[in-house]
Structure 1
Amino acid sequence: MGAVADAWTWLTTGANWQGESGVTARLVEHLWFSGVCLLVSCLIALPLALWLGHIGRGGALAVNVSNVGRAVPTLAVLVLLTLTPLGKQGDLPTIIALVLFAVPPLLTNAYVGMREVDRSVIEAARGMGMSGGQVFRRVELPLAYPLVLTGLRSATVQVIATATLAAIAGGGGLGRIITAGFNTSDTGQVVAGALVVGALALVVEGLLVLAGRLCDPMRATRRTRPAGPAAGAPGGAPAAPAKAAA
């Protein structure tokens, strides 16, 4: 409990929240850095996964290739990139390492979400005269939305937690608080930095859950779906094309 008490003392000391090395400045750096990595990851993974899921070809290979990145520690990738000429490009090595780390959950969940859409619903939508693009926008994407959002939440939490490694490469963020604590043998500061990172990850995930519920394109359908075996079964799904057609 001594380390926790020291961490509480450190967190409640106003001076530790001020200045360029304070918690507030490091928090802003951490959020910006994580946001950039997530944006790049989404731009790479989501269009590819949704397209492959829509056409139903090549997705398994793409998922398996992306999952290879999970077997390689992010720290090892960061160290290797830092030793290359990219190490002279500021935060670029850390961004690349975190993007490689965030792509697999985004790609896998989006592709699986698209492929798990009930084929009978898709055929019904096509039978109503919908084009491939309309089926994608009005049927497949809304039904795949929950898994896509799950992948986004997973990637977000992982990036926020792993972005602390940026401090090793000389970057900013909350990791600098932790490394500074190690350098000065201040256990309270190390624990305080870890607590701030954990709290940030939980808060951001909670906000994503709330935003996901508010932005769910099928929120009304999920809310009014009757209870019973048909509620979660494909049999209740044909309502999606009818709503889309309207």
Structure 2
Amino acid sequence: MNLVRNSLDWLIDPSQWQGEDSLAALLGEQLLYTFVAVGLAALVSVPLGWWIGHSGRGRDIAVAITGMARAVPSFGLLILLVLLFGVLHKPEAALLTFVLLAIPPILAGSYTGFQAIDRRTLDAARAMGMSELQVMAKVEIPLGLPLLVGGLRSAMLQVVATVTIAAYVNLGGLGLPIISGLNLRRYDMVLGAALLVAMLALTIDLVMGLIQKMSVPGGLLRGTRFIVDPKDGIH
């Protein structure tokens, strides 16, 4: 209990939240790496996932690639990329590591969101005279959005936790007090920083969970049928 109390005292100490290497600055670095990595991964994964889900092509390859990517150890990948990029490009190596970690869940959420749609809804949209682009924009994307947001939610949780290892290559983040605490045998620092990472992950999960709930079309929440309109899409 003394360790828990000491770690909480360290965490709420105002001096720990002031200065260049304060917890506030490290928290900002943690969030910056997370949002940039997930954003870049989404730019690659979402269009590709939508194309796979809409066309039905390449799904087996996507499943295989995402499965293999999830099996790669993040720390080993980070060290490998740092060695390949060189010590002068450690931020780029770390960012690429986090992007590669975020791609599989976002890609999976993108194409499974489309493939989970009832085929009769798509057939009705095409029967109304919608083009394939209209079907995607006005039917598939709105109905597939909850699973896409779920993929983004999973990616953000994985990345925000993994960004902690960036401190092993001197890139800051909330992993810095954990590593420093281990070296100094200041286990109150280690536990306090770990608690802060956990609270950050829980906060992100709560926010993304609310966004995912809000992204569900009203018709799905009410259990009603969708009306397909060539101009307005689904309602």
Fold shared per TM-score above 0.5? yes
Normalised to the residue count of structure 1, the TM-score between the two structures is 0.89
Deviation readout 1:124-152 (Å, 9 max, x if unpaired): 10000000011001111111111111111
Paired with 1:86 and 1:40, the residues of 2 have a C-alpha distance of 22
Secondary structure at the residue paired with 1:89?
helix
Letter of the aligned partner of 1:221 in structure 2?
A: G
User: Partner residue of 1:78?
Assistant: 78
User: Partner residue of 1:97?
Assistant: 97
Letter of the aligned partner of 1:48 in structure 2?
A: L
User: Partner residue of 1:113?
Assistant: 113
Matched-pair contact (CA < 8 Å) for 1:86–1:92: no
Paired with 1:188 and 1:201, the residues of 2 have a C-alpha distance of 20
Letter of the aligned partner of 1:22 in structure 2?
A: S
Matched-pair contact (CA < 8 Å) for 1:175–1:193: yes
**Off by >3 Å, runs of 4+ in structure 1:** none
User: Partner residue of 2:12?
Assistant: 12
- When structure 1 is superposed on structure 2, of 1-10 and 146-155 the one drifting more is 1-10
Paired with 1:85 and 1:41, the residues of 2 have a C-alpha distance of 19
Superposed CA RMSD: 1.6
Does 2:228 match 1:241?
Answer: yes
CA displacement at 1:225 relative to structure 2? 2.8
Paired with 2:151 and 2:169, the residues of 1 have a C-alpha distance of 27
User: Partner residue of 2:197?
Assistant: 197
Matched-pair contact (CA < 8 Å) for 2:38–2:99: yes
CA displacement at 1:245 relative to structure 2? 6.3
* 1:224 equivalent among 216, 222, 225: 222
Q: Point out where structure 2 has 5 or more consecutive residues left out of the alignment.
A: none
User: Partner residue of 1:180?
Assistant: 180
Matched-pair contact (CA < 8 Å) for 1:17–1:24: yes
Does 2:26 match 1:40?
Answer: no
User: Partner residue of 2:207?
Assistant: 207
Matched-pair contact (CA < 8 Å) for 1:63–1:107: no
Letter of the aligned partner of 2:144 in structure 1?
A: A
Cα distance change of structure 1 residues 118 and 173 upon mapping to structure 2, 3 Å threshold:
same
Tell me the matched-pair count.
Answer: 233
CA displacement at 1:209 relative to structure 2? 2.1
User: Partner residue of 2:66?
Assistant: 66
CA displacement at 1:2 relative to structure 2? 2.6
User: Partner residue of 1:229?
Assistant: none
Letter of the aligned partner of 1:184 in structure 2?
A: L
Paired with 1:155 and 1:195, the residues of 2 have a C-alpha distance of 20
Matched-pair contact (CA < 8 Å) for 1:139–1:240: no
Q: Point out where structure 1 has 5 or more consecutive residues left out of the alignment.
A: 227-235
Paired with 2:202 and 2:227, the residues of 1 have a C-alpha distance of 33
Letter of the aligned partner of 2:233 in structure 1?
A: A
Cα distance change of structure 1 residues 245 and 222 upon mapping to structure 2, 3 Å threshold:
closer
Paired with 1:117 and 1:182, the residues of 2 have a C-alpha distance of 50
Does 2:147 match 1:158?
Answer: no
Normalised to the residue count of structure 2, the TM-score between the two structures is 0.93
Matched-pair contact (CA < 8 Å) for 2:85–2:93: no
CA displacement at 1:87 relative to structure 2? 3.7
CA displacement at 1:85 relative to structure 2? 3.1
CA displacement at 1:82 relative to structure 2? 1.4
